[in-house]
Structures are given as C-alpha cells and as structure tokens.
A = this chain, B = another copy of it.
Amino acid sequence: MGRGKFEYLSEKNGEWWLTEDEHGDLKLSYRIKDIIFDQMSDFQHVMIVDSYNFGKMLVLDGIVQTTSKDGHIYNEMITHVPLSIHPDPKRVLIIGGGDCGAAREAAKYEHVEQIDMVEIDELVVKACKKYLPEVSGNLSDPRVNFVYEDGVEFVRNKEKEYDVIIVDSSDPIGPAEVLFEKSFYQSLHHALKDDGLMVCQSQSPIFHDNIMKQTYQRIHDVFGKASMYTAVVPTYPGGLWSFTIGTKQYMNPAPEKVQGKETSYVNAEIIQSCFTLPEFVKNSL
C-alpha cells in the first residue's frame, strides 16, 4: 500500500487505517491489512479492503457498505422479511444492492423465477463478485438478471410487473437521495402487482430519526399500508437500523418460510420479533 491521496486512508507508525467520517463529529477507524481492489468508477471510488476486525469490506467513497463479518445481517434482513410476507413471490426486483448479498438471499427461495438486479455501478458488482465472495456468494444463479442502469429510470415505466421490490440503497446523500423521494415510491407502487410489496432501508432510528420518520410517512401515504422493523448492523453508525415495508395487501410474515434456509442471523423467531419496536421508535412514528 502506498496511497495518501484519499483523506480516509492514512498511515501511522507503519499501520494503515481507513477512517469513516460520520457527519464531522464521529469517526470510525478500521485498521486494515491490505487494499485488495481499488478503482474509480464513473460514480465513485470503489475499494475492497481487508480489515482486522470485520474481514473484507466494500468501501465506497470512504464509507463502509458491507463486510464479511456482518454483511449477512443486513442482507438477510432486507430480503427474507419481505419474501416471507409475500405468499408466492415469483418476480423480484432489487434496486441497488451491488454487493449481490440481497440477490444471493432472494435466490434461496426456489419458487422465485426471476430476480432483476438494477445497480447503477457495474464496477461494484464486478469487484464484489470477484473479491468479496463472503457477501456476494459468487452469485451465478441463472435467475438473476443484472441490469446496470439508474434504478429510478428503470422502474419509471414498469407496470404491475413485480411481486416484491427491495430497495437496497446507500445513504440519502448524493446519488441515492432520489431513492428516498415520494415520486420514487409512487413508481414502485406502479411497478408492483396488485398484491405486491416493497421494502427499503430507512436509516438509523438513533441518528436519522427525521429521515426514518419521513420515509415511513411517505411510504404509508403512497401504499396506505406500511410497517417498520429493525435489525442490528454493527458497521452502521448507531448499530440499530430500520427497514420500512410498503404493501398493497400482505402484512404478516410466515416465519416457517425461512426454516431450512441457510442463514446466519435470520430464523423463524427473528422474522416475527423484528417488528417489535423500541418505545422511542414507536413514539417517533
């Protein structure tokens, strides 16, 4: 390693560190063993680094997106919950999710016939498939259809095509901001079948209370029915993370659907208990 041009990479006493800057007042520094992949795409600086504490990590513009150590938690929770609510999901759309982890989890449902994965940045997918198999699972399922374009554009004119849509976005700053707008949720509503449902990550209840509330409210406005669940994501600030479901019909998970699936975090009881919200989150909504 011999790079100093990115402020989030630094060397001190022969040790290399990646430092994540959370809105200027909180920093997380990960000691890293090696930079395995490092390239600028048309959209961002894409790195795969090997860290001491979290194993290999996908880092976009200096922000840790997923890791070998805990990436399964987020990916299992954003996928198995909606797929266990819909009684017979056949066509699944994933917007974002370049680490391929959500698509990998969706592919564990044998009755799913097609998984469209629309990720704007092809380089992220290629890097994760090659260098981060712990998360991407060397995804080569023939049902996964990779589309490298803007998710907002892709979904704009779709009509009643999908059973489940998973919005696996990064934070609502920069390119992903539009994925938190009401007009986008209206497109998703339009793209879903009459009994379809969507899920998105809706940020931290502790640090982004306002975004979480706004996201829930917008989705509730568009769909008429919404619900929220949480999971722990150790590498995201605050640890606790929220997910919001917008649904045209089905509300309740069928926990038995996850039984027998190879998972590390999710199980039948978690699928149900994740909808139990802490008092301050309930009050906030």
Binding site for B on A (CB under 8 A): 17, 22, 24-31, 51-53, 69-70, 73, 206-207, 230, 232-234, 237-240, 263-267, 269-270, 272-273, 276-280, 282
Contact = CB atoms under 8 A, between A and B. Distances in A.
A69 B25 CA distance: 14
Contact of A31 (B26, B232, B240): B26
Contacts of A272: 273, 276
A63 to B, nearest CB: 16
This protein's copies in its complex: 2
B28 A28 contact: yes
A29 to B, nearest CB: 4
A280 B267 CA distance: 10
Contacts of A29: 26-29
Contact of A280 (B52, B206, B264): B264
B207 A53 contact: yes
Nearest to A264: B280
Nearest to A26: B53
Contacts of A53: 22, 25-26, 207
A269 B274 CA distance: 11
Contacts of A51: 25
Nearest to A31: B25
11 contacts: A26-B29, A28-B28, A29-B29, A232-B240, A233-B239, A263-B279, A264-B280, A265-B280, A266-B278, A272-B276, A273-B276
B238 A267 contact: no
A239 B30 CA distance: 16
Given A232-B232, A269-B277, 17 more contacts: A17-B27, A25-B30, A25-B52, A26-B30, A26-B53, A28-B29, A69-B206, A206-B234, A230-B232, A234-B238, A239-B240, A264-B278, A264-B280, A265-B280, A266-B278, A267-B279, A273-B276
Contact of A279 (B22, B25, B265): B265
